[in-house]
Chain A
Amino acid sequence: MLRFVVFRLARALITIVGCATLAFFVLRMAGDPIIALLPADAPPEVMERYRTLWGLDRPLYEQYVRYLISLAQGDFGQSLVDGRDALGVVLERAGATLILGGVVIALALLIGVPAGTFAALRRGTPADHATMTVAIFGYAMPNFFLGLLLILLFSMQLRLLPSSGYGSAAHLVMPALTLGTAMAAKLARFVRTSVLDVLGQPFVRAARGKRLPELAVILRHVFPNAAIPVITFLGFEIGLLIGGAVVTENVFGWPGIGNLLVLSVARRDLAVVQTIVMAIAATMVLANLVVDLAYGWIDPRVRLAGGPREG
């Protein structure tokens, strides 16, 4: 168990620092941040002063080593825009993204799981075909396009919802639908496949042979077994969700990390971009860990094989 934890933590750390490193070099090779940050007509002496101040005049490897050392001390650097602590700037925006992501995942689960289960239980019927047709539409639609459609319909035509911003439930509706539709649709299809697979298993037949109510068969036997592949799928989806969130937050002016990321890349706000990249990597690592813990919790065979859970 201890070995497992140490191993996982080390791997997580390598992943996160690796992502930060990549961002570090790509950003510096993509052009001089001073030019992006200072007004175009700034005198060369001023540019030189800032370059020295921020250590950008040093060789790249030296900048990198300094960066790693300050990271090890818990210092994520300062925003080049306003000099504030980069971590603080990012965390300030994290809440909005977490709210959006949480609502999207909840939405996807609340729609996708019942829809997929319903379709599987009525396999081959018109109800099944209808559900799956809707699902194909749901995930075939690119999410930025869906976002624009929603704005056209609900903000421009019907004037029901604000087209952008943050602060009320009404603001959340369209971004959440934009991101959640595809995820719910994919989840529905995935759940349908897994449930169908489990429904054909001999142990489900045996459970029915016990004269249990159908609901008990579904809840006790079909769902837990069907959940195993669905959990893996969700782990992947959370990774994709982050990418989708960047686009969606910008379409709807949602003040989350995705919004900040685009802004900071444009401004060459080096420390902030690197911190965001690490935050995203950390989220992925955490999602993976949760997936593994969930496996161990559901499946006793994984527990036995030296998984994360003991006893």
Chain B
Amino acid sequence: MPVAELAFAPGIDAYEPSHRGEPILEVRNLAVAVDDGLAVENVDLSLEAGRTHCLVGESGCGKSLTCLALMGLLPPGARGVSGNLRMKGRSGAIPEKGPPEGLAMIYQDATASLDPLMTVGRQIVEALPADVPRRARRAEAEDLIAQVGIPHARARFESYPHELSGGMNQRIAIAIALAARPSVLLADEPTTALDVTVQARILDLMLEFQQSTGLAILFVTHDLGVVAQIAHDVSVMYCGEIVESGPVTDLFAAPRHPYSRGLVECLPRLSRQTERLESIAGIVPPLQARPTGCRFASRCTRADDLCSTQRPCLERRGNTGAVACFNPL
């Protein structure tokens, strides 16, 4: 039995939902091209109201690009994007200029995502829906500041980002994301830069919001400890692709993809500071030098001839979850 499951089972049980509903956001075949090739490819994701879907993977595997693509906010280095997005029953292409209504994001570096010349209060006000009347906007922003656990909301409204700590700015970033009253929240490593106690408080905060509003969260992290605490579902990303996805309990109890197993096995040893996964030998192939077959082949103990010539696609295995592997566990 994996150590991880023993350690984190209570947390998982607490959030296990009783039933699964219609997805509020579904992504099919998302691909993002950069100069060197496809940095993100074949990404399918499905988010449900009131549930947290964790997107896990090593640094550079394409987690941030995936979120930014959904927001229609790709960096200038990105050459193009394709795929389908279905949100609240309406389907269409991946947006290219800004997010669809109901979608908000917490960016990876909160402080850098705040305008240094504008008070944090005004930056929250700016994110409120257009139909909030002018007179109510300031009060509503102050409410949000208080709700994300910042004392003296009234005074803090007038603060500039450089006057606040990293943890405070992270909370402001959450307040900004929630100001838009989203039904889906993309949180890109919202706690990675923070110390453990602040991290725990911020996670609690997000989950509280989720319970009161039914928010669907896509939570990006490379920290499986966090995944074990908050996830309902998990997608594991490797080299721009989803290699395994399914309910968190299944993933921790019985990972199917050799890469996922590597992740889960080294969980207790995984330090938050080092993003490298020590127990999986070998290096992640760079974008320019990806193999034609399975991208994990060079590091995989189960690889065979087929693996080096053919690319496995993400396929349903059993009644829960999907895995992209010719020789799953």
Partner of B76, one of A200, A224, A299, A300: A200
State the majority secondary structure of interface residues on B: loop
Partner of B98, one of A211, A225, A301, A304: A211
Of chain B, the residue at the smallest CB distance from A210 is: B127
CA distance A300 to B120 in the complex (A): 12
A300 and B117: CB pair below 8 A?
Answer: yes
Q: Which residues of B contact A203 (CB under 8 A)?
A: 112-116
Number of interface residues of B (CB under 8 A): 27
A207 and B71: CB pair below 8 A?
Answer: no
Is A59's beta carbon under 8 Å from chain B? no
**Candidate in A203, A207, A208, A224 with the most chain B CB atoms within 10 angstroms:** A203
Is B140's beta carbon under 8 Å from chain A? no
CA distance A203 to B113 in the complex (A): 4
CA distance A211 to B99 in the complex (A): 7
CA distance A147 to B114 in the complex (A): 47
Is A298's beta carbon under 8 Å from chain B? yes
Given known A-B contacts A200-B76, A300-B162, A304-B163, A206 and B98 have beta carbons under 8 A apart: no
Given known A-B contacts A224-B117, A300-B160, A301-B162, A207 and B109 have beta carbons under 8 A apart: no
Number of interface residues of A (CB under 8 A): 22
B116 and A210: CB pair below 8 A?
Answer: no
Given known A-B contacts A210-B176, A301-B162, A201 and B112 have beta carbons under 8 A apart: yes
B98 and A209: CB pair below 8 A?
Answer: yes
Stretch with Cβ within 8 A of A (4 or more), from B5-13, B83-91, B100-108: B100-108
Q: Which residues of A contact B104 (CB under 8 A)?
A: 209
A211 and B101: CB pair below 8 A?
Answer: yes
Is A221's beta carbon under 8 Å from chain B? yes
Is A40's beta carbon under 8 Å from chain B? no
Q: Which residues of A contact B163 (CB under 8 A)?
A: 300, 304
A299 and B117: CB pair below 8 A?
Answer: yes
A225 and B127: CB pair below 8 A?
Answer: no
Partner of B160, one of A206, A224, A301: A301
Distance (whole angstroms) from the CB of B173 to the closest CB of chain A: 8
Of chain B, the residue at the smallest CB distance from A124 is: B76
Q: Which residues of B contact A220 (CB under 8 A)?
A: 115, 118, 126
A202 and B112: CB pair below 8 A?
Answer: yes
CA distance A282 to B162 in the complex (A): 35
Is A30's beta carbon under 8 Å from chain B? no
Interface residues of B in 114-140 (CB under 8 A from A): 114-118, 126-127
**Candidate in B101, B107, B126, B162 with the most chain A CB atoms within 10 angstroms:** B126
Interface residues of B in 48-76 (CB under 8 A from A): 68, 71, 73, 75-76
CA distance A85 to B76 in the complex (A): 62
Is B297's beta carbon under 8 Å from chain A? no
Given known A-B contacts A210-B127, A300-B160, A301-B162, A221 and B99 have beta carbons under 8 A apart: no
Partner of B107, one of A202, A221, A225, A299: A202
4 nearest CB pairs, A to B: A206-B113, A202-B112, A300-B160, A210-B127
